[in-house]
Amino acid sequence: EAGVTQFPSHSVIEKGQTVTLRCDPISGHDNLYWYRRVMGKEIKFLLHFVKESKQDESGMPNNRFLAERTGGTYSTLKVQPAELEDSGVYFCASSQDVAQDLLHNEKLFFGSGTQLSVL
């Protein structure tokens, strides 16, 4: 079974350009999460999809970030225009849907991440 796949693995762009990251979750996983790690800091939550719906986007830093999950399959995260502080590693994770009372057992599977460098 394929795991969570992300591409590109690396992206180097100039400030002001646009970049789109893609995540393919494990087949059948309704939950899809985006996280990022910047400047050696902790990994931080960005947003959460359930199928094609944004369930929680409280971690999105600003309106330069746009995430989509058309059809509830793969997801894209677009940064437009990119700024220097957007540099970091962007991780995607997925999990099977669980009922609210089973959240204690939800296990996330992470992709290898996209290393984004904004120059």
Contact residues toward other proteins (CB under 8 A) are 3-4, 6, 31, 33, 35, 41-45, 48, 55-56, 58-59, 91, 93, 103-113
- In this structure, which amino acid lies at residue 100? Q
Nearest CB to other proteins, comparing residues 15 and 54: 54
Nearest CB to other proteins, comparing residues 74 and 109: 109
How near is the Cβ of 96 to other proteins at its closest, in Å?
13
DSSP conformation letters of 62-119:
STTEEEE-GGGS-EEEEESS--GGG-EEEEEEEE----GGGGGG---EE---EEEEE-
